[in-house]
Structures are given as structure tokens and as C-alpha cells.
Structure 1
């Protein structure tokens, strides 16, 4: 491979005015096709075969159409109405304002008018919940699900809820005008003194990045590249390749929407991967090219050698990323599968652009690439063995006391990982939105009036088809009493039977919110009790609703982490055997990644779940899909750093250096570029902590922490320590395996042979 890349590098450098126009035409054509054939992306978040789907099937069987409200993309809306301080909703003026609001909603064109809305105060009155002994058991049973907070011991009759059906097909079809109309319809009620907030998907806007974080991250990346190259012009090359690679990948994804339904989440991971890898790979190749300019006969030869060596490493580093991202498909979640495929496409283009466009760009910039040279920056070439760099100093320190550095790195990672033992997962719900949003205000108002559990009501759907008709009421009553008896259950409503009495539905209101672990444990216990009722009555039931769905998603995603890690690490292990022609080096690379991931999870849990150090004001469970995404992203980058740092060490070993000296010289050669790449990624990812969205903050921190721990503690301390301790055994491979594994020559040994033969041929030609 190194030979082919070497020859292509020389050709592309010399024939730059052929390669660059071809790339321009391909880029423009792909962009034009993507723009012309692009179709709208899907906002579906479905996860098949969740336990909560059982409840939907039962509802569809006995209460046709009712399950639609519990679909992921269902359009829902709940108006939460609060009385002015010191008054009640039952006061005459407030009651008139509520009635006027209902009348306006009944006239709103986006509201489903198949069944007229009912004033929540009038509904509570019809239920007999505005009068009577509110402390009696009979009153509590009858009025527990009243639309007015009649059971609130300190502020009764001050908050009401009004659920409104809408005619909009699904969440993706909601427009900004729809949201405005749904919110503004309550303006008169607000002017009358009422507090009216709107929750549900009708009020939720898709969170769009502000763009500020990306700009800050890219600006810092540009500064780091200037420092790394010691020149301004060269820092533009990675930016150009990132734009071309990401643009081509995005265009191809848009083109794919013309033949299949593509989730809108797909481009999110593709953007992060495209920027990260394009910059990384450009750094590696341009840094090697800068050194080769000083030792090769011509710039074209330097470009060829740089592509044959660093380019070979790029191919296999990119392959590990692609494996990790395609591996997301094993999770069985459609949106994660497409995110992985989108990221893999971006990774593929990052490799393609680095190998084909990069040498042509080097030729186009020519002698001005590393000009103007900046004083006091990058004065020492890390490829110069006579220069004493910080990388060499660190490597020598590790070489002197490898046991100490190994133990210290493991201890630090272990201490950081400790909080991960109580990792809790959850989805970003209404309580995670900005406090200024109407959805968050509705959540808080409803919590104050009805308790936090009212924001995540459990919908229990009961199938009584196999229960004797004379036992059905007794069976449902027994179920209600069982569920109501759980310590974390606030109350369970009386059952509503289907017309044929073969089905029933109840609502259970927990004491805690949808993302609280106690609530999820309650869902688990309630489901576990089904076997008891099935054996006694033949009754079956399912539980759905926000809380149940959150618990199901957490369980599915948490259960996929270990198999995902095993498959991805196993596939990468096999690939790295071919790269390093070793057993122990790939094995330690994979084990080191497990340590860095544990430390990353621990640090993220400590700060975002436990609220340590006061960095965030509202601790909450970690986003359910973050661990899987984090593993995929950081694994790819970790293997990049492993390949680029350790291949230089192997290159020195293959060329005759003793194991310890090979580590030191390889570290000396690769430390600056790996450090620069890691620092860039840390700031690019860390800049997302500037976003107001809590999910973006935690994801940005976790990615930045993952890169930091893996690059600086694992790849640059733990792995070099192990290489010194293992000595020549680090590069051992069984004879039978050596015959099977292809010799891909990442070190570029064959390039030296080719250059030697060409030099001899030139000398012979001159002699004659």
C-alpha cells in the first residue's frame, strides 16, 4: 500500500492542475445532485420492540386510536393553567377566563374538533371534586385524576390541566406558525391574570446549535495548527480539506434521502466526524511532508514519501473509525444506525480527501506553504533526532521509570472511573429544557400543582380477553390495589373499561419524575407483577407513557454497550494486528481504551449527574444514547492516535533501534502532531459546553474528556510505559500468524528500496 500511495502522492503533486479541477467538478456535481434530489429528512425516533409497545397493542385492540398519543412522533399538547397568587381558579373572574380560553381553543383551526374540549373546572365540578370532604378515601379515589389540583394540601384549586388534540400529522409536520398559534391562543387568558403555559410536542422546537461553539472551536483549531506548523498558510490546508470532505459527505447523505427515509439526526454525527478526522489527517500528512522537504531531493518526492508513510497510517486509522461507526448498527436503533452510517461516510471522505486532494493542494501552495515562518513557534523539527523537544523529554522520563508511570496512569484513570459505578441514564425531557421556555414553565407549574409524577403518568392497558367475564372487575381492582400499594406510586385512577368489557385502562401517577431512577424501578416492579395476575386470572397488561418509554430506552441502550464494545474492539484488534504485526500492541490498545472510557464515564457522572464542583446548576441522569455515541466517536479518535504514535515507534524498531530507544525516538517524532490533534479535538468538542442545551453541554464535555484521557494518559503515558516493559515481546507475532497477515508496510520500508533503486538508476544514467 505504501508504494501505491507514494507513487500517487508524487503524481498528484506534479499533476495538481489536473487533480484539483477533477475534484472541483466532482464536488460541484455531488453538491448539485444532493441539492436537487434532496427530500425532507425524517424526525422519527422509533425503537422497535420496546416493552411499552405491548400496551399500545392492547390499546389498539380494545380502545382503537388511543395508542397514537403514545407514539414517539405524536403531536401532543397540554395547557397548564395557574391562578393568580392568592386566588383560586374557581373564583368567578378566573373561571370566566378559563372558559374563554376553552372557547378560543374550540375555534382554533389546528385543534381536532371531533370532540369539543371541556372546561377543566367544569369537568372537575361534574366529577363532584370541587365540594365534599377532601380527606375522605372515597373523595381521593374519585378525584385523584381530576383536571384541577383538588388534592393539593397547600394550594388546592390553583392549577388545572387541559389536554388538547391537534390535527397535525406528526412532530416533523409542526411549523413555527403552528407553535405560535398554539401558544398565542392563550394571550387573552394571560391578560386576564392567569398563568398559561404549554407543554407537549406542539410547543417543542428542535434544538438548533447556536453556531457560536463551532466558530470558537474552529478558531482555536486554526491557532493550534499555526503553532504546530510554525506558519500561517499551512494552517489553511486542513480547513480546506475539512470543508471539501464534509461538504461531499453531506451531499451524499442528502442524495440518499431521494431513495430512502433518512433521520434528521444523521448529519449531526457526520459533521463532528468530518471536521475532526479531516483536521487530524491533514495534520499528520502535512507534518510529515514538512520534515520530508528537508531530507528529500524534491518537493514531489517529499509529498510521495509523506503520503506513503503518514498516508498509510491514515488509511488504517480511518478504517478503525469506520468499523466503530458502522458497528452502531448492532444496537438495533434506527436513528443510531443512520448516525453511524452518516459518520462512516464522513470518515470515508476524510480519508479520501487526505489521500487524493491533499498532495495536489501541497503542490498548489508550493513554496509558500510554510511561509511566513513565525518566530519562536515550532522552531524544532520533531523529525530531527538531534533536536531536544518536550516530546523527547517526556519519552526519556517514561523510559527511566516505566513502572511508576504505568501505575500512576492506571491509578488516576481508576480514581476518575469510580463514579461510573452508579451511572444512571435518561432522556432529555421537559425538565431539561431552558427555564425560559414555556414547556419548562409548564413542567414546573404542573409539578407545583399536582406533584412531579404528574409529568410522567403511567398508562396501564389491560387485556381481559382470557379472564372469565364475572372475574374481570375483580381482576382489574386487584391490579389497581397492587399498583397503588407500591411506595413510589402516588395514586392509581379507577379503571375505564372498553365497551365489550374485554379491556381496561388505568393511569398510575408516580411520586417522582420521568427520569428519576425510583420511577423507573417502579415501572420494572409493576411489570414484574404481571405473572402473578396472569396465573391467577389470565389477565395480561402493558405499561406505556413517558416514564415507561424512558425506562425502556435506557434498558435497551445500556444493554447494548458491552456487545458493542466487544464487536468494535474485536474488529479493530484484528485490523491493528495487520498494522503493527503484533499481538500485544493491539491488545494493550484495546484495553487502554476501556480504561479511558471508564474514566470518561466517571468524570461525566460526577459533574453532570452528581453535580460535583458546581459546574452545572441542575444535575440529572446521563443522556441514554450518549455512552454508545461516545464509545463510537472516541474509539475512532483513540485508534487514530494509537496508529500515528505507535507506528513511528515500530518504524524505529524495524529499522534497528532497541525497543526502549525505538519508543523514545518514535515518541519524539509523533508527540507534537498527536498532541496538536488531541488539543484541537478537546477544544472543538469542549466548545459545545457553551450551548444552552443541557444535552449539548454533557455531550461536549464527555467527548472532550474522552479525548483528553485517552490521548494524554493512555496513548502518551500508559502505552509507551508498557512498550518499554514488554521490550521486544511487544512486537512479537507467531510465525503461523505472520504468514497469514499481509505485510502492509505502514513504516514505508519498501519506499526506501524504491528510492534507492531510482537513485542508482539515475547515477548509472549519468555515468553513461
Structure 2
């Protein structure tokens, strides 16, 4: 690290110019990268993806795209069985389909009484607009419900009521607008500035924000370059902007805090920077490596969506670490003292540990057993809730509470039509298959409400045929998924089952089937990295196990807040979703595993340093946490505000993802790092520092034999 610092300080002008060029390139990339991002979620090679692709290629509609569901309520005295009703309905739906180029199934063209409610007056149809090209993503194309309704109304009987519903319509009515990535980043940056101003009390608070801005812009430049080689998912822009904001500030905050401490101890100019980099710089390198290791899981999984997000996730900590190790020393040497000159005395000069955190740590050590039990109970209780995790699409009840789409599904349910009609399943039959016979067979499958197999060019092409299975339960429910599994078993040989639910089932199988092996690999790599960083087997093992417990607790929190609705309705006005998007646990794990390691490295690196200086475990814990507690709390608060800003996005899946990250950061910075870590380290005593010779040779570091006798010491006064 001294060599890097020396090179940077000798070539400070060149370093500054290189970063300036990269940032300017990033400004251009930010304006163009959005048009090059894709929205593919389904894993390649899965049966559902192949089916959806084949359906869209052959018919131009369906696949994972959800249909529009027009709901018609006939006037009093008229039912679907009335002589004039069916022709009018058939003409209305046909005209609506023609106007928007859609494939249609309704009571009018099928005569299937299952397309009508028990009252006989309420009927619905399935209208599949031209495919949006999202291939299972969140891009649902233009809203065609208005043109569809305009085309249908003149053909309906006088006095009939028409409401167009559907999963997409419900989601749009729940909130189609939200802050842009830029606005969310600016909100997060504003919150970060407030925290940094409190920490430093001077213009030095601007420095971490400058490093973050340069890191984010440079990362967007690299993402733009990657889009020319491979598909990159649209969620990367959120990852780079908001996680980049938090990570870059974290790293800068660590180095700047240590630089102020070195200056308070009498070191000035380049010497203060070199000394800060020799200690905090090492922690930054290990932290960035830990984040990257956490993302190895998503790179190893053969799913384009996760891989592309992982690429973006690996770029931002790498660029942030590089900017912190190169650009930040230049800024501190040239402008640091001037920017810090106005710091008020009450903020301190960094020469002493925080009194509040020192006192807190002493209390935790005194009641270490109680602290371990209490913290473990909290995390264990939340982790237990994760056992109820249900992966799938959000239920319709979790979407809009009012509006035409909600009125439509309400009218259907009141008439006895199940909400599963919102998530139909397309089945592509190979040439030579009798569509009518296949439909009759599928109608007998448990959980199927009805099956539509109309004739015509939108349903029969080149010898193949489409039939649409209408389930009773929505695809995001356990019953809905069971229905799709049963349909897959019941279809004729060679038939392909598409739809969003089938894609979710394949996603879960593809991603989480090999997850235990990937998890073992990640834990092993992390253990080796931390054992080398801390020169301790116990500290490394403790860090890995606590991370896993913390992550399980986060998943449990997501289940409680979103799936069961204990908080989502209060904060966002969204009822319990009943299920969580299939990709969410994988992404939350990958990012939180690395991000939470930041705090572990920050704290334990300083505790290790203090132990090497004093030889006392408890003194090292008190001083180490006293020095880093405020840093970790501030960094966590900044990240939390960034994720809170991300939670304002209009897409429910993004809200859930952001909530998981935010809760994870809070749990990690409070229950884990402020309570469980100091309690456990003080309990382990001399075993914290044990590194046998064989392990030291493997890790290529100096061995640390176990002390001959247990430590017997009092908590420092």
C-alpha cells in the first residue's frame, strides 16, 4: 500500500486528469446507457423460456406478457344467455382485438359459460396484445386499455358497463410514476451530505461525495462498454447509482476519518495520507474483495439477468475502491487541510475514540452473555420467518386499491369468477395435435377454471395451435403454481407450456437448485480472504456465520413486511403481496453478503490493530469499536437512505429489493456489529487471535500461536 500511495502522490496531476476524463465519459454514458439496457429475466435453456419465445415468434402475442381482461357488466334484464347478448359481445371483443392487433378469447367467440359469472350479467375476455419484447421483463409496452375500451364500447348493448383490468393495469394504477434513477441518486446524495456534515462539521464532508460521483460516472462508462458485448439488465442502473453512492462514501469515509486521526497525532501532508492508506487502505481493498466475492454467486448462475446485474455490482465496488486509493489521496494532500479548517471543536479532531461508543462497548462486554442471547434471539426469530418464503408474482390484492382495473377485478370476484383469470397459461401445441381434444383434456386438470381454444388465424398457424388455460388461482400462489405443474404433466407430447408462472418455476429451479453449492463456495472464499486479513481462523469463521444468520433474518423481514404485509400497507399503502419475486432473494443475498462485510472488515481490522498494539482482547474491542462505531453507523445510515430512495421506485419488485437491502444494513449495523460482534469477540478471548502454522503457510501470512494461558482481565475503565 505504501508503494501505491507513493506512486499516486508522485503523479497526482496525471491521476486527477485520468479520473476527470473518465468522469466526463461517464456523463455521456449516463445519457445513453438506458437505451441499451435489456429487461430479460427468464433463465436461458428453460422450458418456459423456450415456450414463451416460440409462442411470441409464431403468434406475436402471449408468452410472459399478461393479457388485458375486459370485464363487461350487462344492463339489468340482460344476461349472456339472452339472444342478442352473445353476438354483441363477440362483435365488441373482435373489434377491440382488431383495433390493437390482439388475440382474443371471450364468451362471444367460445360460448364457454365459464367466461361469465354466476349472475349471468358479468362476463370477461382475455385480450393478448402484441408482445412487448420484454421476454418476461417488466417492460409491458404501451398501455392499450384505453384504445381497447374505446373500440369495444360502441358495440356493447346499451347500458352495459366496461372496465378493463389485468395485472399490468393494477400495477400501473398502484403507481405508474416514481423518481428517476437520477432523482433517487440526488435524494440519496442529499441525505448523505447531511450525515457527512454531522460527522466532519466542515467542508470535508464534500470529499466523499466527490469520490462517489466520480466512481458512479466511471462505473456507468464501463457498463456502457459492457452493453456492447452482452445484454445488461435495466436494474444495473439502480445498482450502480445507489449502491455505488453508499459503497464509495463508505470507503472514502473510512480513509478520511483515519487521515484526520493521523493529522491529530501530529502527522501532516503526505505522511498523514501515507499512514492513513497503510491502514484504512488495506481495509478498503479487503472490503471491495468481499463485495465481489458475494457477487460470484450471480456470475456463476447461468441466468443472463443475474449475471448482468452481477457485472454492474462488481464494477462499482472495484471502481469505488480504485478511486478511494488513487484520487482520494490526491484530494486530501492538495485540499484536505483547507477543507477541514472550519471544523468546530465539539466535533473533535479524531485523536480520541468516541466517548459514546466507548461507553456502549464497555456495557456490552459487561453483559456479553445477555447481549449474545438477545441478539441471537432477534436474528433467529426473523430467520425463522424466512421459512415461509413463497416465490412468485405479487397477488392482485397487493396492487391498486382503486381505479378501473380494481373495479374490474372486484366485479369479477363478486360474480364468482376467480382472480386466477388474470394469469392465464398459454400452451403451444405441435402440428398434428387436435386442439379441441387437448383443451378437453386440460379442462379436467385440478385447479383449471376453463380452457380457451378458439379457431382462427390468431390461434392456428402453420399447423400449430394455441390453447389458453385459465386457472382458478393466481400464478403467484401455491395453488396457482401447483396448477401449472399439473398442466405441464397433462399436455400432449411435444406441447410447450408458457406464461409467467412457468417461467418463475423454472427460474427457481435453475437459480436455487445449485445454490447450496454456490453458497459453500462463497463462504469458503470469504473465509480464506478474512482469515488472511485478520490472521485469525475464529474471527473469519465468526464473520461468515454471522453474515449467513443476518441474511436469513433479512429474508425473514421481507416475508413479514411484504409477503405478509406487516408494514407494507402502513408505509406504502400496499397490502401483503403473498409472494416475493423469484429473483429477489438471490439479489439481496449477493449484495448484502458483500456490503455487510464492509462493516465487519472496518471494525475487526481496527480491533486487530489495537490487539497487536496492546495485547488485550477487551481493550482492543473497546478501542476498536470506539474508533469505528460512529463511522459504521454513519456509513450504514447513508446506505439506508440510498435504499430508502430506491424504495420510492414505482415497481413493486424494486421496492421489495430496496427494502431488503435497507433492513439488512440496519440489522447489520445495529444488532450484529454494535451488539453481537463485540460480545462474541470478548467471549472468545485468546481464541480470536489463533492462527496455527499450517494455516499460516496456506494463507502465506505470519502464524499466531494460541497463548499459553487464558486471558484474565477487566473491562478497561
TM range (shorter): 0.7 to 0.9
Structure 1 CA distance for aligned equivalents of residues 516 and 136 of structure 2: 33
Kept after mapping to 2: 8 A contact 1:179/1:202: no
Structure 2 CA distance for aligned equivalents of residues 296 and 375 of structure 1: 17
Q: C-alpha deviations, 1:485-511, integer Å up to 9, x for none?
A: x3x443456899999999887554332
In the alignment, what sits opposite 1:698? 656
1:569 and 2:523 are equivalent in the alignment: yes
1:3 and 2:2 are equivalent in the alignment: yes
Structure 1 CA distance for aligned equivalents of residues 198 and 329 of structure 2: 21
Matches within 5 A, 1:236-255: 236-255=206-225
Number of residue pairs the alignment of both structures matches: 687
In the alignment, what sits opposite 2:710? none
Q: Indicate which of 470, 476, 498 corresponds to 1:544.
A: 498
Q: Indicate which of 163, 168, 172 corresponds to 2:127.
A: 163
Q: Indicate which of 3, 15, 21 corresponds to 2:17.
A: 21
Superposed displacement of residue 278, structure 1: 0.6
Kept after mapping to 2: 8 A contact 1:276/1:681: yes
Q: Indicate which of 517, 523, 531 corresponds to 2:484.
A: 523
In the alignment, what sits opposite 1:153? 118
Matches within 5 A, 1:477-516: 479-480=441-442, 483=445, 486=446, 488-491=447-450, 507-516=468-477
User: SS of the counterpart of 1:612?
Assistant: coil
1:453 and 2:420 are equivalent in the alignment: yes
In the alignment, what sits opposite 2:575? 618
Structure 2 CA distance for aligned equivalents of residues 561 and 443 of structure 1: 38
Structure 2 CA distance for aligned equivalents of residues 727 and 170 of structure 1: 56
In structure 2, the CA distance between the partners of 1:264 and 1:325, relative to structure 1 (3 Å rule), is same
Matches within 5 A, 1:425-464: 425-428=391-394, 433-435=399-401, 444=410, 447=413, 450-460=417-427
Structure 2 CA distance for aligned equivalents of residues 389 and 174 of structure 1: 49
In the alignment, what sits opposite 1:764? none
Kept after mapping to 2: 8 A contact 1:321/1:636: yes
- The unaligned stretches of length 5 or more in structure 1 are 128-142, 746-768
Structure 2 CA distance for aligned equivalents of residues 597 and 32 of structure 1: 37
In structure 2, the CA distance between the partners of 1:550 and 1:510, relative to structure 1 (3 Å rule), is same
Superposed displacement of residue 602, structure 1: 1.5
Kept after mapping to 2: 8 A contact 1:197/1:438: yes
Matches within 5 A, 1:696-735: 696-735=654-693
> TM-score, structure 1 length as denominator?
0.79
Kept after mapping to 1: 8 A contact 2:62/2:129: no
Superposed displacement of residue 723, structure 1: 1.6
Q: Indicate which of 36, 41, 56 corresponds to 2:37.
A: 41
- Output the aligned Cα RMSD: 4.1
- The unaligned stretches of length 5 or more in structure 2 are 704-717
Q: Indicate which of 353, 357, 365 corresponds to 1:391.
A: 357
In the alignment, what sits opposite 1:601? 555
User: SS of the counterpart of 1:250?
Assistant: helix
> TM-score, structure 2 length as denominator?
0.84
In the alignment, what sits opposite 2:250? 280
Structure 2 CA distance for aligned equivalents of residues 357 and 626 of structure 1: 34
Structure 1 CA distance for aligned equivalents of residues 596 and 387 of structure 2: 23
1:330 and 2:300 are equivalent in the alignment: yes
In the alignment, what sits opposite 2:706? none
Structure 2 CA distance for aligned equivalents of residues 203 and 490 of structure 1: 21
Kept after mapping to 1: 8 A contact 2:430/2:465: yes
Kept after mapping to 1: 8 A contact 2:298/2:310: yes
Q: Indicate which of 637, 642, 658 corresponds to 1:679.
A: 637
Q: Indicate which of 417, 436, 459 corresponds to 2:383.
A: 417
User: SS of the counterpart of 2:615?
Assistant: coil
Kept after mapping to 2: 8 A contact 1:52/1:552: yes
Structure 1 CA distance for aligned equivalents of residues 139 and 482 of structure 2: 37
Superposed displacement of residue 100, structure 1: 7.5
In structure 2, the CA distance between the partners of 1:161 and 1:448, relative to structure 1 (3 Å rule), is farther
Q: Indicate which of 354, 362, 370 corresponds to 2:324.
A: 354
Q: Indicate which of 270, 276, 280 corresponds to 1:306.
A: 276
In structure 2, the CA distance between the partners of 1:737 and 1:494, relative to structure 1 (3 Å rule), is same
Point out the structure with max Rg over C-alpha: 1
Structure 1 CA distance for aligned equivalents of residues 660 and 138 of structure 2: 32
